[in-house]
Amino acid sequence: MTWTSFIVHSDDLHVELISDFFIELGAISVSIQDSNLNQQNEEFIFGEPHNGPQQFWQDNQIQALFDQNSDKEKIKVKLKDKFKSLEINIIVSLVSNQDWIKLTQSQFSPISIKNKLWIIPSWHDIIDDKAINLILDPGLAFGTGAHPTTHLCIEWLIENMQHNYDVLDYGCGSGILGIAAKKLGAKKVIGVDIDPQAIQSSQDNANQNSTKIEWINTNKPLNYRADLIVANILSSALSVLAPALAHHCKAGGKIALSGILKSQESMIKEIYTEWFDFEPSLFKNGWVCISGIRRQNL
């Protein structure tokens, strides 16, 4: 079967109104995604602390599917008339029916990091059985391994992990960093997140990888000091969490901070310099992973 697809772009203030109007016009389905998905300026809003209760991205792509025989021109006219002030650009095309599960799966391929650790979707075969293989499917919580910030944090873990280390994954999302730490030989790993869905996803992913990790919601007390801390969250959250993360890091322990744009590096370092001496940062596609050593005399 073939469908008629309408695609428009909208800011966060009008995206819900436009989506609802598509439904009123008879759309069979409406989907919304970041217009900058998989690009350098992709914006994270789910599964992580954020500035306020943000539901949508700053720049949204809305796709509505209609029956193939729908009156395309009538829909376009009604849409433009309803939102005259927005000067909406409408892209209309035909979309063939297909196996959406296979299509989605085809977008996620195995990822190799430093030729030592592979992130493998469950429907793929293991490529290198001598490497560390982390089985992870895309889910509701943030973190598939494809984003540069996750990639940088795992690179850092590979270089810094020792077998007797206790690790804290703060803002665990899908649990990928905590699971990677455990597979790299960490003695103990605790993962923390504000989102109950992230805690559940992390537990499910840990079970799939046969790794024993404790997952804790931020509303519960955390009495734990770690040799290594990884926090791959937004810079706004990292700014607020600095005293807490410093407290949870052992003297001489190390921290890796990511989810940070290169332009934000100096700001984050200025905040954390009260507790940490910095090592060289890691960079990838405009993103940065800042790392530091907790000073002994604090």
Residues 31-80 pLDDT 10s? 888 887 766 666 655 433 333 345 678 888 999 999 999 999 999 999 99
Domain regions of the chain by residue span? 2-97, 141-294
pTM (2 d.p.): 0.70
Residue 223, pLDDT score: 94
**Coil, helix or strand at residue 31:** strand
pLDDT at 91 over 60: yes
User: Pick from 243, 255, 239, 260: which is nearest to 167 by CA?
Assistant: 255
> CATH 3.40.50.150: does it fit domain 141-294?
yes
d(C-alpha 256, C-alpha 187), whole Å: 18
Amino acid in position 6: F
Residue 50, pLDDT score: 36
148 pLDDT band (50/70/90 cuts)? Answer: confident
The answer to whether 63 touches 35, Cβ cutoff 8 Å, is: no
Rg (CA), the chain: 22
Residue 43, pLDDT score: 64
**Domain range 2-97, its CATH number among 3.40.718.10, 3.40.50.970, 3.30.70.120, 3.30.980.20:** 3.30.70.120
